[in-house]
Structure 1
Amino acid sequence: MRKILVGLTLLCALSGIGAYGQTPPPKAGPGSPPPPTAAPAPKPATRDELYQTVARLDTEMFAAFNAHDVSKLMAYFADNVEFYHDKGGLSNFAQTQEGFARLFAQSPDITRTLVPGTLEVYPVKDYGAMHIATQRFCHVENGRNDCGNSKFVMVWQQQAGSWKITRVVSYDH
């Protein structure tokens, strides 16, 4: 996550956008009122419409995952998806589809749940939303429940009322 934040900061610096997209205020002279304080950093959307939309998409998409329905699951991904996985590397749409099919064949009881209280949703201007959370995968191995958490960032694009995932970063496995 630190690398993502550094990258976003660098991108803003290179594009000439200030911390809040503003130019610095003029210097105050004697007797001038103190300059206004900077607005606080934007907070994640909480219970607004965008949050509810992304929460619903997360629930629907992972219902398809838990049902091991590769076709329905892949309907949530854009044809040009880039899926970055800290252990598996970068994959495109076809490779992601093959990876899910292989995972379901190797672990027919694997399930995914969203860790409660971890969902964050941020708008992406003129594009869609960022979906950040921690997820928990479980399956039975050697007769015992084997579970592990990982983190992810998904970038959703909204086009003509449809939402598709264009980028996934899955890490901390």
Structure 2
Amino acid sequence: MRKPLILVALLSALTATAQAATLPEGPALRAAIEKADAEFFALFFEGCDPARVATMLTPDFEMYHDKGGEVARAAAPFVAEYKKGCEEKKKPDAWRSRRELVPGTMTLHPIAGVGVIEQGDHVFYERKGDGPEKLVGKARFTQLWRLEADGWKLSRVFSYDHEAVK
């Protein structure tokens, strides 16, 4: 009697997993991740929309930075800190940053039923107030994007190999 119940539970779990996330493939996957990456980082560095940033993160979002250590262990406190930074950016002489993906460095590694690991290089620009923008740094990154019912969510971020650019 137990064997049929175990088999039914196993088949149900496999069916639910298969239905949870049907990943796009090839160019469609690349286009989806390029779009999600560009939107998230433009919002984070140049925009100021905490509510939208929150919708792009999994609740258990984690971020690790080789210079800053453990940046986040959950989305809510991360978004709260981002919101404070948004207020600072409103000052006329505030420092403003921009992140740019280095063309040709993005690689994608799909994980069936989950999402995709994105790796690449990025560079960072800064300017004070309305002053001139200058290239100030470069780094590498690895991130996990989860495909959920309502779209792509950033779940894990590793930002490392940071170097200043002179």
TM-score (ref. length: structure 1): 0.64
Percent identity between matched residues is 29
2:149 maps to 160
Equivalenced residues, count? 128
Q: Looking at both structures, which has the greater relative contact order when contacts are Cα pairs under 8 Å and sequence separation is at least 6? A: 2
Contact in 2 for aligned 1:110/1:138 (Cα 8 Å): yes
* CA displacement 1:30-78 (0-9 Å, x = unmatched): xxxxxxxxxxxxxxxx952111110111122122122133332232111
1:80 maps to 60
* CA displacement 1:82-111 (0-9 Å, x = unmatched): 111112222122332244345552754211
Contact in 1 for aligned 2:42/2:98 (Cα 8 Å): no
Structure-2 change in CA distance of 1:94 and 1:160 (3 Å): closer
Distance 2:67 2:80 in 1: 16
2:48 maps to 68
Q: How does 1:1-173 map to 2 (within 5 A)?
A: 48-65=27-44, 66-90=46-70, 91-92=72-73, 93-104=75-86, 105=88, 108-140=95-127, 145-173=134-162
Distance 1:138 1:52 in 2: 24
Greater strand share, structure number: 2
The gaps in structure 1 that reach 5 residues or longer are 1-45
**Letter of the structure 1 residue corresponding to residue 38 of structure 2:** T
Q: Whose radius of gyration is greater, 1 or 2?
A: 1
**Letter of the structure 2 residue corresponding to residue 88 of structure 1:** G
Greater helix share, structure number: 2
Structure-2 change in CA distance of 1:140 and 1:108 (3 Å): closer
| Post-superposition offset of 1:133 | 1.3
**Letter of the structure 2 residue corresponding to residue 49 of structure 1:** A
Structure-2 change in CA distance of 1:63 and 1:146 (3 Å): closer
Contact in 1 for aligned 2:123/2:135 (Cα 8 Å): no
The gaps in structure 2 that reach 5 residues or longer are 1-24
Structure-2 change in CA distance of 1:125 and 1:47 (3 Å): closer
Distance 2:124 2:84 in 1: 16
RMSD: 2.5
Distance 2:138 2:68 in 1: 16
1:32 maps to none
